[in-house]
Amino acid sequence: MIKAIVLTKDNDRFAAGVRDIGADELRANTAEADVTVAVEFSTVNYKDALALTNAAPVVRRWPMVAGIDAAGTVLESADPRFAAGDKVVLNGWGVGEQHWGGLAQRARFRGDWLVSLPTALSTRQAMAIGTAGYTAMLCCLALQEQGVVPGAGDILVTGAAGGVGSIAVSILADWGYRVVASTGRSAEANYLKELGASAVIDRAELSAPGKPLQKERWAGAVDAVGSHTLANVCAQTRYGGVVTACGLAQGMDFPATVAPFILRGVRLIGVDSVMCPASKRELAWQRLAADLDRTKLDAVTMEIGLARAIAIAPDLLAGKVRGRVVVNVHA
């Protein structure tokens, strides 16, 4: 028997709890999988928190083992790319939504969904990074690919004290960019400066409805917030600048006009981590292993046990959790 966080919904009555699952039940509910993984660590991302609280229709199949991330050791594999003893990491692919996920002591996944864990990273470090950090790296790489170079001007990171934001601040600062961090938590200013932010602004400067075009401020941006914040970021981006968008903490809406795009040539780049092709995933994890400051990673990470993952979810949604949450599934 293994322990897992199982989400159930019966006649609209939602429940989340830790319970035992047998090998036969796991196999029966993961028939599409061909690799069995002994999970060592998972994490709680924003999407996980939505699922754990039923705050949004993230889960598409019931019952569901939660967890969109996992890192651990292969136990059995029918996929020739993986063998028993290999260290692997998983992010996205509908796991924890349509397929049983990683907040469990054992999981079964398709080999197509797995990435070999770089040897420089432990499974705990991989989950300290998690989908949030991997998404942050995709955003930072997108800025580079679009030609935004250090010295081009200030780079804004919104939702900077959260999981994506914290790691984006750290990566960009270490790459030599001048980073401006936006947060609604003024008490986190020193924390963000320790990660490398050159300046910290209040999210209130960006979160209310604004003009279609505003004073040019940003050479580039990483936005995990959406809604009016993203609209204002685009309206403030300099001629030819680039905004990467990956989240919706403020909302899914985008109350903007075409003005920044047709009058200033601003480029808005959508960043998806769920169905991202394997080649981009592997590059992102290689760069995370090579470039991410492990000392800073430790500074943005807390570790909890499996049961506490449910309790911490409302705080994460409310913006009360700094950085990243690692879940030791055996604690």
pLDDT tens column, 34-86: 999 999 999 999 999 999 999 999 999 999 999 999 999 999 999 999 999 99
Q: Please check whether residue 282 lies inside any domain of the structure.
A: no
Average pLDDT along the chain: 96
Strands 87-91 and 114-116: antiparallel
Residues 313 and 233 in one domain: no
Instruction: Return the HEC string of 298-309.
Output: HHCEEEEECCHH
What's the domain range around 155? 132-270
Model's pTM, two decimal places? 0.92
Mean pLDDT on 227-242: 98
pLDDT, tens only, 274-300: 999 999 999 999 999 999 999 999 988
Determine the pLDDT at residue 322: 87
Structure token pair of residue 238: 């300099």
Nearby residues of 314 by Cβ (< 8 Å), 6 or more positions away: 49, 53
- What's the full length of the chain, in residues? 331
Determine the pLDDT at residue 281: 95
Give the residue from 270, 290, 310 where a domain finishes. 270
Contact 2, 105 (CB under 8 A): yes
Radius of gyration of the chain (CA): 20
CATH number for the domain spanning 215: value is: 3.40.50.720
Q: Please check whether residue 283 lies inside any domain of the structure.
A: no
Residue 12's pLDDT band, with cuts at 50, 70 and 90, is: confident
Contact 165, 181 (CB under 8 A): yes
Residues 57 and 168 in one domain: no
Mean pLDDT on 121-147: 96
Number of domains in the chain: 2
Determine the pLDDT at residue 319: 86
* CA count, 13 A, side-chain hemisphere, 259: 17
Residues 106 and 37 in one domain: yes
Contact 238, 220 (CB under 8 A): no
133 pLDDT above the threshold of 90: yes
Determine the pLDDT at residue 323: 87
pLDDT, tens only, 193-222: 999 999 999 999 999 999 999 999 999 999
